[in-house]
Amino acid sequence: MKNRKSNIKRTSAQTEKIVVILIALILTSFNLMAQGYTNVATQNVMIEVKPIAKISVDGSPKPLIISENFSGSVSDDNTKYSLVTNVDNMKIVASIDNPMPAGTKLMVKLSSSRAASAGLVDLSNALTPLDVVRGIGRGSDVDQSISYTFAANQDIDEITQQSRTVTLTLTN
C-alpha cells in the first residue's frame, strides 16, 4: 500500500515535469516566431545607374613637320578615339593648352558614326573648348579617327620642334 502511494506520487511529479517542459517549448516557439526566425529571409537592395560619359584616345599623332617640300600643311590621322555614354545629346569639345605660334594653325577633325562632326576645326587659339562633334546619343562609338592638320604661312620663320596638348572632352 505504501509502495503504491509512492508510485502514484512519482507519476504525478513526472506528469508535472512533462507539462512544464511542453509549456516551455510552446513559449519558446512563440518567441522564435515573434522574432522572425522563419525559413524566409528578405533584404532590400538599392540600385541606381548614374550618368555615364567616358572618352578615351588610342595612339599618339606623329610629329607634324613642314620641311623643304613646303606644301603649306601636313596631316596625321593615325589616332583614334572611343566613347560610351548613357546620356542623350552629348558633344565632344576640344581645346589646346597654349596658342600656336603666329603664322601657323593646328586643326583637328573627329569622325563620328553616330553624330555630327564639325569638320576641320581650328584649335590654334582654342584655350576655350570648341565643339568638334555634336548630337551624340546614348551608346558607344568605337575607334573613330582623329585627324590633325598643321599649316604654316609660306613666309614663316623656322620653328623648332614644339608640342601642344589637345584635350578632348565628352560633355553635355
Partner 1 sequence: MNKTTTITILFILVFLISAQAVSQVKSSAMQTVTFAVIHTANHTLNTLAKVQESNSISNQENTRIFQNSLENIRVKVTVSETAETKSSSIDNHVDVRTLLQDKESAVINEKSTLVTVTE
CA angle 48–52–55, rounded 5-degree value: 160
Q: How far is the CB of 30 from partner 1 (least distance, A)?
A: 51
**Residues 83-122 interacting with partner 1 (rule: CB under 8 A):** 83, 85, 87, 90, 104, 106
Whether the Cβ atoms of residue 147 and residue 77 lie closer than 8 Å to each other: yes
Q: Which of 38, 43, 71, 161 binds partner 1 (CB under 8 A)?
A: 161
Which of the residues 24 through 63 are near partner 1 (CB under 8 A)? 51-57, 60-61, 63
Enumerate residues 6+ apart whose C-beta is below 8 A from 19.
Answer: none
Tell me which residues in 124-153 interact with partner 1 (CB under 8 A): 146, 148, 150, 152
The answer for residues whose C-beta is within 8 angstroms of residue 139's C-beta and 6 or more apart is 84, 85, 114
* Cα distances (Å, whole numbers) of residue 157 to 86, 102, 119: 48, 10, 29
Tell which one of 68, 71, 102, 113 touches partner 1 (CB under 8 A). Answer: 68
Q: Which of 43, 44, 67, 128 binds partner 1 (CB under 8 A)?
A: 67
Q: What angle do CA 158, 74, 113 make, to 5 degrees?
A: 145
Angle subtended at Cα 19 by Cα 16 and Cα 20, rounded to the nearest 5 degrees? 85
Window of 4-12, 15-23, 35-43, 162-170 that interacts with partner 1 by CB under 8 A = 162-170
Please report, as ranges, the residues that interact with partner 1 according to CB under 8 A: 51-57, 60-61, 63-68, 79, 81, 83, 85, 87, 90, 104, 106, 146, 148, 150, 152, 155-172
